[in-house]
Amino acid sequence: MAIELTTDQARLIARMRLRHPGADIRAHQRAWGVIVEVREGARTIALVAFDASGRVLADAPLRRAA
């Protein structure tokens, strides 16, 4: 199943790249959509989910591990 990003979804990824210029951005496709993960080294610093209908499914902010 191929999912095409909406304009809003693509803009959100561009903003994530601007906020974290040296980070690695990974996309993980799921049956319901895509999870986009921003990583710095071994840490995940941001997550966002996109469903197949074009919605952005924002989750609660990630807290730093102790």
Domains in the chain: boundaries: 7-57
d(CA 46, CA 38): 5
Contacts of 57 (CB under 8 A, 6+ apart): 33, 48, 49, 50, 51
d(CA 1, CA 26): 18
> Could you read off the pLDDT of 25-52 as tens digits, one per residue?
999 988 888 899 999 989 998 888 888 7
Enter the pTM of the model.
0.74
